[in-house]
Chain A
């Protein structure tokens, strides 16, 4: 198995599936049925293959594994270079799994333009996996930005009433951030003469350049995360996107920001990262408290969860710039946890939206009566979002808060406030939607979860518990890579001290 170009296979298999769906011909029903099954099979096989990555990954190695190299732009020294380490490892099965769940979850709810829908999600799958595998800056950038195309189409075609505004805002906002990142990529390439991320992890970039390079990268990743005050595209995009789009947006796309910080800003620009860390802490602390307060007053369920995403991702950015292993591991765990939990919450909202076609909180009430299974699932993920011990949310938040407490206790205090506010808005949301008495007629006849929805929730429940009860399974493979990262930033620190 080890001789196989496993990473390329995992990356491009969904693209192959998309190509197959495109050439399906025939009358409407047949095409739709075939498109669905091809999408399910390719995304399913991709997920299974990604598990081979997990199985074959050597958790004692700090370096990159499953490395593949091929000529791409030899004149420029830019290569097709793929590989994963402990930090990127888990994002690949996460992306692949969420795509499978999107396909399963939209089995009945997406009825128009099914073929294009499946193609768009398979292309997304391919690009998302590719971006986590890419070990060349230009290759990374190509994947990173290409994701905008399918996401733009997903929001615009299958989205809600204000989908056009939301899709344009999403595209242009993120693009504006990424072009500055492109400038940084080019500048680093011209400075160091390489685009190889493995080499650049320990590159020494002159201090004078580091500051503005850091800001250029920050523009891209802060928009992607999104950090306050660059988050305004997110509520719009989430509210208008179809359920599947929201799931991948929250589950994977936001992680690209945090992953970018850990892969680019922190290792390549250690001095600048240390210099700007208080700035990031401040923005993140504001994000945690402010967006939690904003979430409290939302009338729209999806908007509420979107703002809670910003708050949770605030903890991720705090963790990324915490110079100890606990903080960085915590931020990765928090990203994984948020990837599972917020994706699940968007699916939870999607379930009732498909039935009633409204996301207004006041429109609901008393669902516990008619949808007992749904109520349990909703409760479970609300608790996970709040960070109840035993769920994944708890582990990530505690790791980050404890990690940052060693550096800056004020930030830890603000982050902890966010957890309390999180409990407030989630419980209040839950009470308003699930409890109370049913007043509206259409809610009286609402049906509980269908088979495909239960299938879609099951793995997320399982993962949330696994990550919450036995997180070591997930953190062990990332330990060497994180330790390596910390070591680099610290050698830099001591060197800087020695200089003085």
Chain B
């Protein structure tokens, strides 16, 4: 048997690069005990950025490899660039924290890197086998990361909780996959898609149950209602930079997976899965809006905020149209920037050497650190979706798609729940600007944290003038998964 020509593997070049980098750093880390993380953190971030640059520079026409299980197209490219940049950002903001908390082990950036590899493969998955493998690679990395602060109860609890619930979700997913495989006889997305378009009624019953299980499994990874229970505990328990990591890139990857699965193989069954997505979207938006009102832990608040935000994104998917997917991609890109920026601000909340997470610690921040206060204000108004920040345009796009698909009532529920959600973002702005000053946070701001927070705030503001390239590339990406 002749080995596959190397050229065929080119579509997976960024993943190979990450794999190679990960393996080399593993050896380096073991050899250089002690200060490994200082070297490996920046190097991992850099290799992720290089991988993103390769994707940006390369041709974006669809190409398959690994016998059709792996597909590189404009859709995957769009998400991979965001994911790799997001993971790089999360690694950069984690460095100081890990050192401060004396858990600076080189495995942290490495696991993040392997997680990114898994996410890259997730958005490229073109069969259920590839889907499951890549999802597990990503999940296992995140389980370990969540439990990374192994001497504290909270972190261990977070890791364990995430692992047990995550395994359950993987089980559901696998069961769903087996049902679909059993009723269609294939795991390849293309073949399932054409089978379903042939409308063979005898297939549907079993495969439909399979679809429901698969959707449930992916919804767990997205952390949407009713599979959201793990998110607040994991966000709160995991070390803060790991929270930043979990909240940003994996959500994009899982959303990418959901989009591709629902649109590509199950595109013919829009009417079936639309009901599920509509329900999940409404439940997430409402729960996210109301549950966060009572939170005073900033990370928990961000968990509920994240649930609500994924709910808004699903409104776009519920439309089931190309415009809808387009909107989801734009929304998720903006969501990632907002989440990373906000977690960077949480990491800046450090007083006398120890990190604080209660939002009341932000009282009077504008008196002490006006720049950080302004950054946080921009982030909060963007999360609330108030123009002229980017958050508004994300919502604008998904709700436009929903109204276009005659889901006006869904858009009304979504926008009204965003008014409710606005309350807790305003509460943070209130603490920052209206309240009497508490003790100052430690200065100076760490360069990496300041840079990530600052860049994300600037991006969210500049978006009002320059959001068009994002729209344009998301449009091309969305077209790639419609046949």
A465 CB-CB contact with B under 8 Å: no
B433 close to A156 (CB less than 8 A): yes
Residues of chain B lying within 8 A (CB to CB) of residue A141: 387
- Chain B residues within an 8 Å CB radius of A71: 468
Of A75, A148, A183, A189, which is within 8 A of B411 by CB?
Answer: A183
The segment out of B256-264, B412-420, B440-448 that lies at the interface is B412-420
On chain A, the residues within 8 Å of B434 by CB distance are 156-157, 163-164, 167
Complex-state Cα separation, A73 to B386, whole angstroms: 18
Q: Across the interface, which residues of A come within 8 angstroms of B415, CB to CB? A: 179-180, 182-183
Contact B426 A168 (CB under 8 A): yes
Would you give the 0/1 interface string for A351-369, flagging 1 where the beta carbon is closer than 8 Å to chain B?
0000000000000000000
A206 contacts B by Cβ under 8 Å = no
| Contact status of A146 and B387, CB under 8 A, knowing A73-B467, A156-B434, A176-B419 | yes
Are A75 and B468 also in contact (CB < 8 A) when A153-B433, A157-B433, A171-B426 are?
yes
Contact status A171-B422, CB under 8 Å: yes
Check A74 for interface membership: any CB of B closer than 8 A: yes
Partner of A183, one of B399, B429, B468: B399
Chain A 175-200 interface 0/1 with B at a Cβ cutoff of 8 Å (1 = within)? 11001101100110110000000000
Q: Say whether chain B's binding surface is mostly helix, strand, loop, or mixed.
A: helix
A145 CB-CB contact with B under 8 Å: yes
Are B408 and A172 neighbours in the complex by a CB distance under 8 Å? no
Chain B residues positioned under 8 Å from A176 (CB to CB): 416, 419
Asked if B388 is at the interface of the complex by the 8 Å CB criterion, the answer is yes
B411 touches A152 (CB 8 A): no
Q: Which of B391-432 contact A (CB under 8 A)?
A: 392, 396, 399-400, 403-404, 408, 411-412, 415-416, 418-419, 422-423, 426, 429-430
Least CB distance, A16 to chain B, in whole angstroms: 15
Which chain B residue lies CB-closest to A142? B387
Complexed CA–CA distance, A84 and B434 (Å)? 37
Distance, CA A449 to CA B426, complexed state (A): 38
| Contact (Cβ within 8 A) A75 B388 | no
Interface residue ranges of B452-483 to A (CB < 8 Å)? 464, 467-468, 471-472, 475
Q: Are B403 and A190 in contact (CB under 8 A)?
A: yes
In the complex, A187→B419 CA distance in Å? Answer: 19
Q: Is A30 an interface residue (CB 8 A)?
A: no
- Residue A138 at the chain B interface, CB threshold 8 Å: yes
Interface string of B78-111 (1 = CB under 8 A from A): 0000000000000000000000000000000000
The verdict on A138 contacting B419 (CB below 8 Å), with A183-B408, A183-B411 known, is no
Within 8 Å of chain A (Cβ to Cβ): is B381? yes
- CA–CA, A145 to B395, complex, Å? 14
- Distance in angstroms from A114 CB to nearest chain B CB is 13
Q: Does A149 contact B (CB under 8 A)?
A: yes
The smallest beta-carbon distance between A208 and chain B, in angstroms, is 13
Interface centre among A73, A145, A163, A175 (most CB of B within 10 A): A175
Output the least CB separation between A321 and chain B (Å). 25
**Chain A residue at minimum C-beta to C-beta distance from B405:** A190
Q: Which of B86-144 contact A (CB under 8 A)?
A: none
CA distance A152 to B388 in the complex (A): 15
A495 contacts the other chain (Cβ, under 8 Å)? no
Residues from chain B with a CB closer than 8 A to the CB of A179 are 415-416, 418-419
Question: What are some 21 contacts across the A-B interface (CB < 8 A)?
Answer: A72-B468, A73-B467, A74-B468, A75-B468, A75-B471, A76-B471, A116-B366, A142-B387, A146-B386, A148-B386, A149-B381, A152-B429, A157-B433, A164-B430, A164-B434, A168-B423, A172-B423, A176-B416, A182-B399, A183-B412, A190-B400
Q: Which residues of A contact B (CB under 8 A)?
A: 71-76, 116, 138, 141-142, 145-146, 148-149, 152-153, 156-157, 163-164, 167-168, 171-172, 175-176, 179-180, 182-183, 186-187, 189-190
Binding site for A on B (CB under 8 A): 366, 381, 386-388, 392, 396, 399-400, 403-404, 408, 411-412, 415-416, 418-419, 422-423, 426, 429-430, 433-434, 464, 467-468, 471-472, 475
Q: A73-B467, A175-B422 are in contact. List 5 more A-B contacts (CB 8 A).
A: A142-B387, A182-B396, A182-B399, A183-B412, A187-B408
